[in-house]
Each structure stands twice: as C-alpha cells, then as structure tokens.
Amino acid sequence: MIEILKAVLFGIVEGITEWLPISSTGHMILLNEFVSLDVSPEFWKMFLVVIQLGAILAVVILFWDKIFPFDLKKEPHIKKDIFTLWFKILVACVPAAIVGVLFDDLFDELFYNYTCVAIALIVFGILFIVIENRNISKNKAPKITDLSQLTYKTAAIIGVWQLIAAIFPGTSRSGATIIGALLLGVSRTIAAEFTFFLAIPVMFGASLLKLVKFGLVFTTAEWTILAVGMIVAFVVSVIVIRFFMGYIRKHDFKIFGWYRIVLGILVLAYFMIFARS
C-alpha cells in the first residue's frame, strides 16, 4: 500500500513537471531522494520513462482534433494539413531518435547525475529569462502564429534543440524545444503546442525502448506501481496542460526561468551537503 501511495506521488509530479518547462527528470531525481520506491534499479530507470505514457495520453485526448488526420463524419476525408504537420513532427524527431537509440545507455551513465541536472536547470532557466527580456526590449512580435506556418526547416531546428534535452537530463524536453521555437520567432502558444505534439512519438519511442531493455517481465507489484503512476500522471496532465495553455496566452515564460534557477541551486546545495554528511 505504501508503494502505491509513492507511485501516486510520482504520478502527480510527472503530470505537473512533464508539460511545464521545468524538467520532470530534475524533480523526479529530487523526489526520489526523499520518497524512493522499493524497486530494483532497473525497474526504476524504466519507470521514470514509461510513466510518461500516462502524461502523453492527456495530449492525445486534449488535442485530438488537431492531431488526428482523418475526418470520419458524413463525408470521410483526409485532413492534409494535419498529415503535413505529422511529417514535420517526424522530421523534428529524427535527431533525438537516432542519437537516443545509439547512445541512450552512454548518456545515462555520463550525464544522469545531480550535477548535470542542476547545471541544465540553471542554464536553461537563464536562457528563458534572456530570450523573453530580449523579445520585450525589442518589442518583437512572433513571426509564426499558426501551426501551418511552421516550415520543415524550422521543425528540424526545433528537433536539434530537443536533442539537447535527450542528451542532458534536467534540460527539460519541453523547455529546450520551446526555447528553440522562441528563438525562431514562433509564438508561445504554437511553441507549446508543437512541443506537446513532438512528445507523442518521442515518448512512445523512448518508452518502448526502455520496456524492451527491461524485458517486459514484471511482478504483480511492479505492474501495479507502473499502472498507478501512469493513471495519476494522465489525470494531473489534463489539468496542468489546460492551465499552462491558458497561462501563456497572457504571460511569458520568465517565471519558469526563475523557478528553474532556484531549483537548480537547491539541487546542488542539497546534494553537496548530503555528499559531505
């Protein structure tokens, strides 16, 4: 029962932090220091990734009309604009997919530690503040205010930013892609939406890779923990995504930048003190 309650807590944190540009990995690592699941290290690594499937289901449901390319009403037809959008999403996913498959274990070994996570939190927090201040000072209006205006080149460049998040935990996949999009003149709303859509193939692919590596052999307790975490992550994600989309229509991303900086400093301070004690 205690492990199930822990899974609920991890699901809540995943659902909140996956979609806000504040790094779900950083929060999960920190939470695990205080509320660790009584599971094997192999299951824990898999759990951290596969729990995201619950979160991604929220995107699929909330944005169904924008991502499902078939109109099945009285006169069924294919929505060509959505098909085109999916091609752009796939182009953006190529860099992270190739590097993830080839070097997933290496990156986990090299960068999956509190120092790298904290530095990534701080660096990208500063970037959010700098970019938003630049846009305000120069009174820059976004050049891309609709998904249809995204070119393949723009999608590919955003995909490179996503690659940075795939390499360095703590960067935040949504944070990296949103920053990349903002630098390219994409509006906050479209940057967020495209980031959410990018997550669909990326998270499904990453989850499948982790499941295959784990071996698809679970105990009853492990199945229960994973299922509870995913369900809670889904419910919380629905609430958070709705809040986030409403928030960025009227506000900038600077608050998330400051939050990342503070969290990064806290992570460094906590682990430095803990390591010495």
Q: How many CA atoms lie within 13 A of 136 on its CB side?
A: 10
pTM equals 0.88
State pLDDT tens for residues 164-174. 887 877 788 88
Condensed to tens digits (0 to 9), the pLDDT of residues 52-94 reads: 999 999 999 999 999 998 887 767 788 899 999 999 999 999 8
* 98-102, 216-220, 230-234: the lowest-pLDDT one: 98-102
Contact 198, 189 (CB under 8 A): no
pLDDT, tens digit, 9 for 90 and up, residues 116-163: 888 889 999 999 999 999 887 777 789 999 999 999 999 999 999 988
Average pLDDT over residues 191-218: 87
pLDDT over 70, % of the chain: 97
